[in-house]
Structure 1
């Protein structure tokens, strides 16, 4: 899927985070810190980014994993 809207990416992101963490999607918010609020470590972060790359295959060539600290950052990185 290319040219996805920010809302489509946000919905997919929350769905993937819900699947990977076990948190209900209704409890998740794009402003949550992936480590502090959700307990997502670097390995799980890579897994989430991999799923999003499969769903939205045209992200920018690189994204510094260190700067992706909240769900909103992930959505921005995957929006094209």
Structure 2
């Protein structure tokens, strides 16, 4: 019960923060959305594992790793 409530609070927090992203400077808004997308993918896999009881397979983890590599390229590539 407490685990479910904690996960609901985390999802609510992330969904409410999504509305704040467009208020950042235009130069970084794409990077913020990329970071949000990467976090969303990781949270979706964690939700499936913890709440739904679905174990991610190798391709789920591989896709998650590719997404996080893409996020890191977008966020940290020198400009």
TM-score scaled by structure 2?
0.28
> Higher relative contact order at CA 8 Å, sep ≥6: structure 1 or structure 2?
1
Pick the structure with greater CA Rg.
Answer: 2
